[in-house]
Structure 1
Amino acid sequence: MLRAIFVFAALAALQAGAALAEEPAFEPLQPLDLTNVDPEFAEDMFGRWTIRDAGGERACGIELMRETGIGGMQVGVDPSCEAVFPVMGDITAWRLLEGWTIDLADAERKTRIRFSTPDERYVAYPEVDGIATIEPEPMD
């Protein structure tokens, strides 16, 4: 009986470890304090953005809003996004973090995609469903 419990516990630990290995490990970053940055830069973060794959063949639009919600700030996801990039059907919030990093999070407040700027453009980590970049839409 004790051996069966040990085997069960070992299998459960292996399954938990496998589940953790599937999720990307995001470096913990602090929220960006918008009161201490150039207001023009901060304002540029809000509004319509386009998410694209690496080749630019697939794209969909989202709106990064200023209003807060559960897990960050509110995000408007174009209804067609989920068909283009299925993970977008789970996105319910966004966060602006130090280094102008953008996180897209799900209803459980878990970061699903992180966009960072290593070279003047935002690059996705990880490339979930082929998402490679996010870029602001030009102002009219």
Structure 2
Amino acid sequence: MLGEFKAFIARGNVLDLAVGVIIGAAFATITKSLTDDLIMPLIGALFGGLDFSSYFVRLGAVPADYAGSLQDYAALKAAGVPLLGFGQFLSVVINFLILAFMVFLLVRFVTRLMPTREEEAAVAAEAADVVLLREIRDAIRARGAPSS
């Protein structure tokens, strides 16, 4: 069983997937920082200093022992107050759209670098022609005809 597991792990697809997951997690962290630290503050500044993450609706009572601000989404959430955080959701949606667009650009770039099926078929056909010509040349040489 251990041998089968080693063979499974050593397959290229599994290793490629593992590398993809690790790079994807790092890429998501970069995208989250891009959204939270650069894009959302710019959008907030364009709309008069708005902080989208602070847009929420309280759906329940605040605990009696809560001493923080009633406008602090993170503190209220940590205190267990039920909240409808549509501003935070908007930030996550923008984060997703940026990540999806960046992945689209990456796939588009890699796709342009990779040969198309037609190009691969042309290379294969050319290789087959070269092999055929070599075989003809070798057959002529084997008959004793003078080579050019």
Please give the range of the TM-score, normalised by the shorter of the 2 chains. Answer: under 0.3
- Structure number with larger C-alpha Rg: 2
Greater helix content: 2
